[in-house]
Amino acid sequence: GNSVTQMEGPVTLSEEAFLTINCTYTATGYPSLFWYVQYPGEGLQLLLKATKADDKGSNKGFEATYRKETTSFHLEKGSVQVSDSAVYFCALSDGSGGATNKLIFGTGTLLAVQP
Amino acid sequence: GAGVSQSPSNKVTEKGKDVELRCDPISGHTALYWYRQSLGQGLEFLIYFQGNSAPDKSGLPSDRFSAERTGGSVSTLTIQRTQQEDSAVYLCASSLVGGRGYTFGSGTRLTVV
């Protein structure tokens, strides 16, 4: 079945460091891919998405490119800030003709940015 | 409403009791989802409602779990005879079209003692 695997955390970085959080997926068909973020004490928010191969999603300085050949959707940011500290979830939509179109999530990666 | 509203925000219950968790989706959103987030785990899909279609219950972990959605709007997740392993944050999300642009509620933190 469809699944998402993302790197385990926590990831601890200093402010202005480069961030990569790896995400790979297994899916039949052509799913859409997402990154969600959960700030401390808040609900999940959509950070960015990509709906087809080679698409690049971007938001708030974060980017991720849908790579079909490597089945990956790694999240990157060139210079992290303390305010980026949160849990990041990679997800795919079961949208390949499936009846549900539900999202399948990875286990989440905790990012802690130190000043 | 402006967002997805869940109640209560926190619930502590004794093992063996029944609990009801409520989700009020964004007005007009036809799709509604329940997920469970356990400590150290990802988000586990529980159930999905889309319009008047039969719900996808494939993620419900046992027959102690059930959910309904009345009038295509408010949803209630019921857990009967709660167990300690049911302790988790239960998240509700809604969307206009299934699988796209979910909006999540803040969740209900359930603690079974």
Contacting residues of A for B48, CB less than 8 Å apart? 100, 102
Q: What are phi and psi of A2, to 5 degrees?
A: -70, 145
Question: Would you call A102 and B98 a contact, using CB atoms and an 8 Å cutoff?
Answer: yes
B24: pLDDT strictly greater than 70: yes
Residue A9: its pLDDT value, please? 85
* CA–CA dist B12, B73 (Å, integer): 26
Dihedral over Cα of B68, A99, B60, A41: its sign = negative
The model's confidence at residue B88, banded by pLDDT at 50, 70 and 90, is: very high
Over residues B63-92, mean pLDDT: 95
* CA–CA dist A68, A20 (Å, integer): 18
Nearest to A100 among B43, B56, B101 (CB): B56
Residue A21: its pLDDT value, please? 97
A92 part of contact set with chain B, CB < 8 Å = no
Q: What are phi and psi of A92, to 5 degrees?
A: -130, 155
Q: What are phi and psi of B86, to 5 degrees?
A: -80, -10
* Cα–Cα nearest to A107, from A77, A87, A80: A87
Contacting residues of B for A29, CB less than 8 Å apart? none
Residue A99: its pLDDT value, please? 42
Contact in structure between B46 and B27 (CB atoms under 8 Å): no
Strand partners, B94: B32, B103
Residue B100: its pLDDT value, please? 59
B64: pLDDT strictly greater than 90: yes
Among A27-31, B2-6, B84-88, the least confident range: A27-31
Residue B61: its pLDDT value, please? 95
| Interface with B, mutate which of A34, A48, A96, A101 (most B CBs under 10 A) | A101
Residue B97: its pLDDT value, please? 67
Among B28-32, B33-37, B39-43, B74-78, the least confident range: B39-43
Contact in structure between B91 and B35 (CB atoms under 8 Å): yes
Contacts 24+ apart (CB under 8 A), A55-61: A57/A33
B101: pLDDT strictly greater than 80: no
Cα distances (Å, whole numbers) of residue A31 to A18, A56, A88, B20: 28, 14, 19, 33
pLDDT per residue as tens, chain A (115 positions)? 889 999 888 999 999 999 999 999 999 888 889 999 999 888 899 999 998 899 999 999 999 999 999 999 999 999 999 999 999 999 998 764 444 578 889 999 999 999 9
Q: Write down the number of H helices and E strands in chain A.
A: 0, 12
